Chains A and B, each alone.
Chain A
Amino acid sequence: MRIRRSGSASIIALSLLVTACSGNNSSSSGTPAAGGSESAAPATTSTESTAPSESAGASTGASESAGASGGGATIDASGTINAFGVSYDTGDTIAKERIDYFKEKYPNVTAKFSESGFDPQQFVTALQSSDPPDVVSIERWRIGTYVGSGVLEPLDDCISKAGVDMSNYRDSAVKAVTFNGKIYGLPQFFWVSNWLVDDDLFKQAGLDPANWDVSNWDQISAANDALLSKTKTKVGIDPKVSDNGDRFPMWVAAAGGSLLSDDGKTAQLDSQPVIDALTFGKKLIDAHGGLTKFKDLLGQTGDFFGAENGFKNNLEGAFPMQQWYLNVLAGATPDTKFTVVPFKTKQGQPVTMAEGDALAITANSKNKDAACAFITAMTSTDAWVRAATKRASDAKDKKQIQTGTSTGNKAAEDQIFNGIADTGGNQVFTDAVKNYYSTFDSAFELPATTAAEDFRQAWIDGVNAALSGQKDPTTAMKDAQQVAQQALDAAPQAP
């Protein structure tokens, strides 16, 4: 049976709410909102770069070299499109400049923006409205849920029509949006994670960040113990595996494994590298007195996004973090002394996990050419370079540090990190930017799966069950494996 989409979303929502909540619930007024830990990454859901306004000196003529390989051919497009998960009026420079680039390139296309990040509930409602989205900006890890449901359009036609050179995009990002050989989204943003080390705390603990061998887990553990015993830090080493898992897949990769097989069909949650990674993460956390104590301590590390952050006040020793945080530190505490140490496998090879969004076209779009024009223009080299250049010049005017924007577009990144980004002579930030950029090629993303949400929830549940001591790591991940595999088996195949 097929239910008419139009207007049914509101009825469904209403049905559930009325059925479940038809009583007099005096306590349930208001709109739910996601609570968040202070370590929550800024939304990876819109075209906005979530870092605060950076600063710095702009390089010259950055966009000159952005040739056809970036922007591709111009499509014959006109009419109106709705872009969901994209902000313009409320967007930052990176969003606005790229949209302005699109508007100039396609003056006959009118784009309307949701002015919000991606939200599954809003998106499904928007899909069923009389004016559904043509384009959506969505986190790459969750795109499979929508591909499996047939909501998104394969981009083969678009890519060929626009003459997009996919080799311009980061391979790992493209793989994350590829299902059965078809690409369903054009990557935008490419946030990799590496160790951020508080130099002062390490020195107090008798450690040297430059010589800290992060491929040796004994050294990581020793650093954790030394930080906790010899300094007044609240948190020694935060592996970033609690809460929503954050960097756990990276630890698994460092241990030589993966949560999911390359074809996205087989869960590997009970494999030895996963157990090893979880056991080690738990060890680091338990050294703080257990998960509850660890989270309490984490809550005392100051304002993660503000001037009183953990680095400034020496309250966090080290943790793996995405590079957008450099912009936070640059804006809030530019004098902070820290070191970026590339995350490494146990064999000493750099390995990092990349995250970001993708711009996709909805299957029911009535203006696919214009939608194609939008997503190709927005992720083109020209658009990125223009945005980064504007941001850099704005930052220079304010005499601020600008640490660059990682885009997922290699040609754009090459220009941004070899000229546009300007740390104003601040050696700490110069080294940090260089170290982050050096790891882009070693980045991986979780394999694409149409069971994205369920698979993710399964391993997060397993990790948290072990960290909280409810189950030992082996049992926790064995149980999680069962749930995850069931979800993978039951997931719809990509069209």
Chain B
Amino acid sequence: MTAIRRASPTRWSREDRSTFLWAMLFLSPWIIGFVVFTAIPMLWSLFLSFTSYSPLTGNAPLVGLANYQRIPTDPKVTTALWNTMYFTVLFVPLSTILSIFLASLLNRIGNRTSGFFRTAFYLPNITPAVATGTLFILVLANPDGLLNSFLRFFGITGPSWLNDPAWLKPGIVIMMLWSIGGTIVILFAALRNVPAELHEAAEIDGANTFQRFRNVTLPLISGALFFVIIINTIAAIQLFSEVYTIFGGQRQGAVGNDAALFYVMYLFREAFETFRMGYASALAWLLFVIVGIITAIQFRLSKRFVYYENG
């Protein structure tokens, strides 16, 4: 009886091994970068979250779960989380809807013109966040800022975007909407990939513009939409630079009840102003978990709402 040699799935030919080594060689810059700048710092941060490390003393006594136990009792965390979620819930849908609208407009005009507008829409994205924050101090000022002056032209008295706790977050949403160029470009690319025949067929079937958008365009760009929603959600939760420019430093206590205290701002304050690195690390990990949960929920929902042409 001839013994049958089972082919081992892990047995690689010389060519396979060579291919693998070459692949690893080309991937190594990223792998090294990931390990050094992402994986190790993350693990280090996780370790620090169980200590009361102070960079001033260099001491990192282990404190077990104390940092995590403190989080629910810290009223600033509740405030910061509420502000951050409030902003996210306002910003993500608005930025998505506005981006779809502007991308649709771009899709309807000629290539040359759309090129100009694509550049124009994208320009704010390459503006430094600090410059954006500084600019919007002037735009949102009351009563003589650009926005309220514009509203006054229509007989509307604008609110105090920078000083009124009730209007502060909507004001920040307006500021951040200025930088949706990246989202517009992604959705514009998706819109251009929607086959014209499908629209023609729907039109022949009697579908109006809204019905074509609802039943043809939207499903076909749902993959891109899903992507930008996730990216914008994460970006919104991590809001920092622009608001720190406006409300950090001297104006830190400017708005009573901490209306401008966003989560990463508080994390930064704990880490680099009061030097409670252990607690700041715990806050960072809580944020990581929150982002993970929200993203997981979005992925779960995507199975119902996102259409992938090939699967």
**When the two chains form their complex, are residues A12 and B60 in contact, meaning their CB atoms are under 8 A apart?**
no
**When the two chains form their complex, are residues B58 and A29 in contact, meaning their CB atoms are under 8 A apart?**
no
A464 to B252 Cα, complex, angstroms: 10
With A28-B235, A30-B130 as known contacts, state yes or no: A461 contacts B250, CB within 8 Å: no
B44 at the interface (CB under 8 A from A): yes
**When the two chains form their complex, are residues B53 and A3 in contact, meaning their CB atoms are under 8 A apart?**
yes
**When the two chains form their complex, are residues B129 and A3 in contact, meaning their CB atoms are under 8 A apart?**
no
Identify which of residues 94-141 in chain B touch chain A, using a CB-to-CB cut-off of 8 Å: 125, 128-134, 137, 141
Stretch touching chain A among B192-200, B202-210, B216-224, B241-249: B241-249
**When the two chains form their complex, are residues A16 and B267 in contact, meaning their CB atoms are under 8 A apart?**
yes
Interface string of A268-309 (1 = CB under 8 A from B): 000000000000000000000001110110011000000000
**When the two chains form their complex, are residues A30 and B234 in contact, meaning their CB atoms are under 8 A apart?**
no
A400 to B47 Cα, complex, angstroms: 59
Identify which of residues 261-292 in chain B touch chain A, using a CB-to-CB cut-off of 8 Å: 264, 267-268, 271-275, 277, 280-281, 283-285, 287-288, 291
Cβ contacts under 8 Å, B238 to chain A: 20-21, 23, 25, 27-28
A5 at the interface (CB under 8 A from B): yes
A32 at the interface (CB under 8 A from B): yes
**When the two chains form their complex, are residues A292 and B164 in contact, meaning their CB atoms are under 8 A apart?**
yes
**When the two chains form their complex, are residues A34 and B248 in contact, meaning their CB atoms are under 8 A apart?**
yes
Shortest Cβ distance from residue A279 to the other chain B in the assembled complex, whole angstroms: 15
B170 at the interface (CB under 8 A from A): no
**When the two chains form their complex, are residues A124 and B281 in contact, meaning their CB atoms are under 8 A apart?**
no
B69 at the interface (CB under 8 A from A): no
Cβ contacts under 8 Å, A145 to chain B: 56, 274-275
B83 at the interface (CB under 8 A from A): no
Give the residue of A14, A27, A35 whose beta carbon is less than 8 angstroms from that of B246: A35
Cβ contacts under 8 Å, A116 to chain B: none
B93 at the interface (CB under 8 A from A): no
Give the residue of B57, B182, B251, B275 whose beta carbon is less than 8 angstroms from that of A36: B251
**When the two chains form their complex, are residues B251 and A20 in contact, meaning their CB atoms are under 8 A apart?**
no
Cβ contacts under 8 Å, B160 to chain A: 292-293, 295-296
Give the residue of B44, B182, B272, B273 whose beta carbon is less than 8 angstroms from that of A26: B182
Cβ contacts under 8 Å, A292 to chain B: 160, 163-165
**When the two chains form their complex, are residues A454 and B274 in contact, meaning their CB atoms are under 8 A apart?**
yes
B25 at the interface (CB under 8 A from A): no
Cβ contacts under 8 Å, B40 to chain A: 11
Q: Return the chain A residue nearest B256 by Cβ.
A: A468
Shortest Cβ distance from residue B132 to the other chain A in the assembled complex, whole angstroms: 8
A295 to B167 Cα, complex, angstroms: 14
A3 to B40 Cα, complex, angstroms: 15
Cβ contacts under 8 Å, B128 to chain A: 29-31
Give the residue of B137, B141, B280 whose beta carbon is less than 8 angstroms from that of A35: B137
With A11-B44, A26-B182, A296-B163 as known contacts, state yes or no: A33 contacts B130, CB within 8 Å: yes
What is the interface of chain B mostly: helix, strand, loop, or mixed?
helix
**When the two chains form their complex, are residues B274 and A453 in contact, meaning their CB atoms are under 8 A apart?**
yes
A159 to B258 Cα, complex, angstroms: 43
**When the two chains form their complex, are residues A19 and B245 in contact, meaning their CB atoms are under 8 A apart?**
no
With A28-B241, A30-B129, A299-B142 as known contacts, state yes or no: A468 contacts B234, CB within 8 Å: no
Q: Return the chain A residue nearest B244 by Cβ.
A: A32
Cβ contacts under 8 Å, A214 to chain B: none
Shortest Cβ distance from residue B43 to the other chain A in the assembled complex, whole angstroms: 9
Give the residue of B51, B129, B231 whose beta carbon is less than 8 angstroms from that of A24: B231
A34 to B141 Cα, complex, angstroms: 17
**When the two chains form their complex, are residues B251 and A35 in contact, meaning their CB atoms are under 8 A apart?**
yes
Interface residues on B, range: 35 or more
With A21-B264, A24-B231 as known contacts, state yes or no: A9 contacts B55, CB within 8 Å: yes
A107 at the interface (CB under 8 A from B): no
**When the two chains form their complex, are residues B57 and A1 in contact, meaning their CB atoms are under 8 A apart?**
no
**When the two chains form their complex, are residues A40 and B250 in contact, meaning their CB atoms are under 8 A apart?**
yes
Cβ contacts under 8 Å, B42 to chain A: 15, 18-19, 22
**When the two chains form their complex, are residues B130 and A31 in contact, meaning their CB atoms are under 8 A apart?**
yes
A162 to B188 Cα, complex, angstroms: 71
A164 at the interface (CB under 8 A from B): no
Shortest Cβ distance from residue A252 to the other chain B in the assembled complex, whole angstroms: 16
Cβ contacts under 8 Å, B176 to chain A: 27
A82 at the interface (CB under 8 A from B): no
Shortest Cβ distance from residue A361 to the other chain B in the assembled complex, whole angstroms: 15
B179 at the interface (CB under 8 A from A): yes
B149 at the interface (CB under 8 A from A): no
Cβ contacts under 8 Å, A36 to chain B: 249-251
Residue picked from A18, A20, A29, A121, most chain B C-beta under 10 Å: A20
**When the two chains form their complex, are residues A34 and B250 in contact, meaning their CB atoms are under 8 A apart?**
yes
Cβ contacts under 8 Å, A111 to chain B: none
**When the two chains form their complex, are residues B137 and A461 in contact, meaning their CB atoms are under 8 A apart?**
no
A467 at the interface (CB under 8 A from B): yes
Query: Could you tell me which B residues sit within 8 Å of A by CB distance?
Result: 37-38, 40-42, 44-46, 48, 51, 53-62, 125, 128-134, 137, 141-144, 160, 162-165, 176, 179, 182, 231, 234-235, 237-242, 244-258, 264, 267-268, 271-275, 277, 280-281, 283-285, 287-288, 291
Q: Assuming A16-B267, A29-B129, A453-B274, what are 20 further A-B pairs, CB within 8 angstroms? A: A1-B61, A8-B55, A8-B58, A18-B45, A19-B287, A25-B235, A28-B235, A31-B130, A33-B133, A33-B248, A33-B249, A120-B273, A127-B55, A145-B56, A149-B57, A295-B160, A300-B144, A460-B252, A468-B165, A468-B257
**What are 17 inter-chain pairs, A to B, with CB distance below 8 A?**
A15-B41, A15-B281, A19-B42, A20-B238, A20-B288, A26-B179, A28-B239, A28-B241, A32-B268, A33-B133, A33-B249, A34-B249, A120-B272, A146-B56, A295-B254, A299-B163, A465-B257
Q: Which 7 A-B pairs have the closest CB atoms?
A: A34-B249, A468-B256, A15-B45, A23-B234, A149-B56, A30-B129, A30-B128
